[in-house]
Amino acid sequence: MNDDQAVASLSALAHVDRLAAFRLMVKAGPEGLPSGEIAERLAIPPTRMSFHLATLERSGLVASRRDGRRVLYAASYNDMRKLLSFITEDCCGGDAAFCGDLVSLASPSCSPARS
């Protein structure tokens, strides 16, 4: 990941609706959720939610796929890890006493929590 990619990802998350949608998708796991369900759960009009989901998808943090008539959106855990690693790679000079938990969260061994 480079600076431009990190800025694009962080910019996509820098809106309350998009952040809420991304967090919902992270909780949902790799199966993802239909766009309509995301909008419904967050009480956001579907057209506005579509705009936000497209922004998240362009950032690389979210991927979509068709399932019949539905479009499912899922968090891209690999890209999320890349962003977390990029942000924390120089944390406190690598001193685990200060940032050990942050670095371990961004490691490739991190797996999505199941709800």
Model confidence pLDDT, tens digit, residues 93-110: 766 677 666 655 554 444
CA-closest candidate to residue 58, choices 73, 48, 46, 43? 73
Residue 113 confidence (pLDDT): 45
Task: Please give the domain boundaries of the chain with CATH numbers for all domains.
Answer: 3-75 (1.10.10.10)
pTM for the whole thing?
0.82
Full strand arrangement of the beta sheet holding 62-67? 33-34, 70-75, 62-67
Residue 103 confidence (pLDDT): 52
